[in-house]
Amino acid sequence: MNQPSAPARRRLLAVAGSAVLAGLAAPGHAADEALPLEAARDALARRSAIVIDIREPEEHARGVAPGMRLLPMSQIGQRLAEIPRDPSQPVLLVCNTQNRSRATARALRERGWTNVHYVAGGMSEWARRGWPLVAPR
């Protein structure tokens, strides 16, 4: 069986992501709550927040930040229970650039998560800065 090309895979992921968000999103507020990349790195180091990398497995294969949880956006709809709802526990979402994480954070807030934020710049900026990356587990 032929594997789809990289552009075709990206289109499929975009469609899957839209479907996931359509299932999560409800009409309501749309406040953006971005956190700087440095804040996410500090939260990981201090273990003061749960940082979730929502990129897809083929993106994780390029390297992940130590301590981040991996939860592909395409699986979020089936794995919502893995995302803490406790308002005292910050949840930070990161993707490659911040587009998917911003949309996912918004959708989760619209579904009742109150302490969820997206990380500005995403993993592409993390890598550009030369910050540590490890193989996914």
- The reply to whether 95 belongs to the active site is yes
Residues written for the chain: 137
Number of neighbouring beta carbons within 10 Å of residue 71: 18
DSSP string covering 89-126: S-EEEE-SSSHHHHHHHHHHHHTT-SSEEEETTHHHHH
43, 93, 95, 108: the catalytic one is 95
Q: Which residues are catalytic?
A: 95
